[in-house]
């Protein structure tokens, strides 16, 4: 219970949540200070964390009027599966810090909102249990460890439980300087365990392109690389044969002063030239943000922090609420820019 007497998991009035910023405000009142700081904070002086939002805000939209937007189509197909809208739940760790039901609530919320949930290697709930309650596709995010056999077994377990894609985090050879986490004395409670990832993240193996080749040699699902900011790396990713990439700066949590993802996205999209899907995360809080990302070359976006805040507010219902708000805002933004489908969102939507 926090200082306001609100306990994680308590019933809350979701009608108070008008936008994703409201969700964070309510979550801050609900969560322990340590848990809130873990989710909300970034690395170092948090320049990149702020830039993720500021860069999105700075982009102006260029609407077209008198076009027929009576029938909006937000569907997108990724790796052979059709999604009703281009917003996925990004992988985030330790969901039982935010709500007693942890990843089970996240999966249920994703199901109610018809969204793909990318499960973190640092899930606090076994994959088998998440798969039992999931009604929408699961993807799995992988940190590669020194123990190759353990890594291979984890990939195969994720595939056995129906995960349809594998997202390899490539931007975290070590964890960044996270001063806010340090000041909050972040530690996992004794009852919060990570069944698929024993030990600390610092034990992770530094990855090379040879490791990506090795992973693809046995993975039966599409492999995406998460954490690409450099167009040269994007080109190498295509040459390596991966199925997709995620433009990400780890939510500003690792290397401070790298650019906002929306700034990196157009360069990456140009280098990729539609050969494989490009997704993006980092700072998405509004439907207009989604429009901007799609217009600048993303096939879809992922949201992490807002989902964690929704989970903290109201469990599965809070997760669903976050996704429904964002989906509704996306539809309104498309209508108001004069674009009836995702294919029509291109550079012409961006004010130059």
> In angstroms, rounded to a whole number, what is the distance separating the alpha carbons of residues 81 and 78?
5
Give the CA count within 13 Å in the CB-facing half-sphere of 129.
12
As given in the structure block, the two tokens for residue 46 are 């948090």
Judge whether 248 is annotated as a binding position.
Answer: yes
> In angstroms, rounded to a whole number, what is the distance separating the alpha carbons of residues 194 and 135?
23
178-195 burial by CB neighbour count: b if 16+ within 10 A, else e? bebbeebebebeeeebbe
> In angstroms, rounded to a whole number, what is the distance separating the alpha carbons of residues 170 and 144?
9
Judge whether 275 is annotated as a binding position.
Answer: no
Task: Identify the CA nearest to 58 among candidates 250, 283, 224.
Answer: 283
Judge whether 57 is annotated as a binding position.
Answer: no
Judge whether 344 is annotated as a binding position.
Answer: no
> In angstroms, rounded to a whole number, what is the distance separating the alpha carbons of residues 79 and 226?
16
Task: Identify the CA nearest to 304 among candidates 291, 287, 327, 322.
Answer: 322
Judge whether 281 is annotated as a binding position.
Answer: yes
Judge whether 245 is annotated as a binding position.
Answer: no
Judge whether 297 is annotated as a binding position.
Answer: no
Judge whether 120 is annotated as a binding position.
Answer: yes
The active-site residue, picked from 95, 99, 196, 250, is: 250
Judge whether 42 is annotated as a binding position.
Answer: no
CB-based contact 246:228 (threshold 8 Å): yes
Pairing relation of β-strands 300-303 and 278-281? parallel
As given in the structure block, the two tokens for residue 207 are 């990855």
Judge whether 32 is annotated as a binding position.
Answer: no
Task: Identify the CA nearest to 107 among candidates 122, 124, 119.
Answer: 119
Angle formed at CA 69 by CA 66 and CA 73, multiple of 5 degrees: 150
Judge whether 91 is annotated as a binding position.
Answer: yes
250 labelled catalytic: yes
Judge whether 141 is annotated as a binding position.
Answer: yes
Tally of CB atoms within 10 A around 210:
9
> In angstroms, rounded to a whole number, what is the distance separating the alpha carbons of residues 224 and 165?
7
Judge whether 152 is annotated as a binding position.
Answer: no
Alpha carbon 164 to chain centroid distance? 16
> In angstroms, rounded to a whole number, what is the distance separating the alpha carbons of residues 323 and 87?
8
Beta-bridge partners for 226: 169, 246
Judge whether 143 is annotated as a binding position.
Answer: yes
Q: DSSP letter for 113, please.
A: T
Binding residues for glyoxylate: 38, 143, 178, 250, 253
Q: Which residues are annotated as a binding site?
A: 38, 91-93, 120, 141, 143, 169, 178, 226, 248, 250, 253, 281-285
Catalytic residues: 250
Binding residues for FMN: 91-93, 120, 141, 169, 226, 248, 281-285
């Amino acid at each position: 219970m926090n200082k306001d007497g609100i306990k994680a998991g308590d019933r809350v009035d979701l009608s108070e949540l008008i936008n994703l910023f409201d969700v964070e405000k309510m979550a801050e009142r609900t969560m322990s200070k340590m848990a809130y700081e873990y989710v909300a904070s970034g690395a170092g002086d948090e320049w990149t964390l702020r830039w993720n939002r500021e860069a999105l805000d700075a982009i102006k939209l260029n609407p077209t009027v008198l076009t027929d937007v009576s029938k909006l189509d937000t569907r997108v197909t990724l790796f052979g599966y059709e999604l009703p809208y281009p917003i996925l739940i990004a992988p985030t760790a330790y969901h039982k810090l935010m709500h007693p039901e942890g990843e089970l609530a996240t999966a249920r919320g994703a199901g109610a909102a018809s969204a793909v949930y990318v499960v973190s290697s640092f899930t606090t709930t076994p994959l088998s249990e998440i798969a039992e309650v999931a009604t929408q596709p699961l993807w799995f995010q992988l940190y590669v460890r020194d123990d190759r056999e353990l890594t291979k077994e984890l990939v195969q377990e994720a595939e056995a439980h129906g995960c349809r894609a594998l997202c390899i985090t490539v931007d975290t050879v070590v964890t960044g300087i996270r001063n806010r986490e340090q000041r909050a004395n972040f530690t996992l409670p004794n009852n919060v365990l990570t069944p698929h990832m024993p030990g600390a993240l610092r034990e992770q193996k530094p990855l090379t392109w040879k490791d990506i080749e090795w992973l693809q040699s046995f993975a039966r699902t599409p492999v995406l690389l998460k954490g690409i900011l450099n167009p040269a790396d994007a080109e190498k990713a295509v040459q390596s044969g991966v199925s997709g990439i995620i433009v990400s700066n780890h939510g500003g949590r690792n290397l401070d002063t790298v650019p906002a993802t929306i700034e990196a996205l157009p360069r990456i999209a140009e280098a990729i030239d539609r050969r494989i899907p490009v997704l993006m995360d980092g700072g998405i809080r509004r439907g207009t943000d989604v429009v901007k990302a799609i217009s600048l070359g993303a096939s879809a976006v992922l949201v992490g922090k807002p989902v964690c805040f929704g989970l903290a507010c109201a469990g599965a219902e809070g997760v669903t609420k976050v996704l429904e708000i964002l989906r509704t805002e996306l539809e309104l933004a498309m209508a108001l820019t004069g674009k009836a489908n995702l294919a029509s969102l291109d550079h012409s939507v961006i004010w130059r």
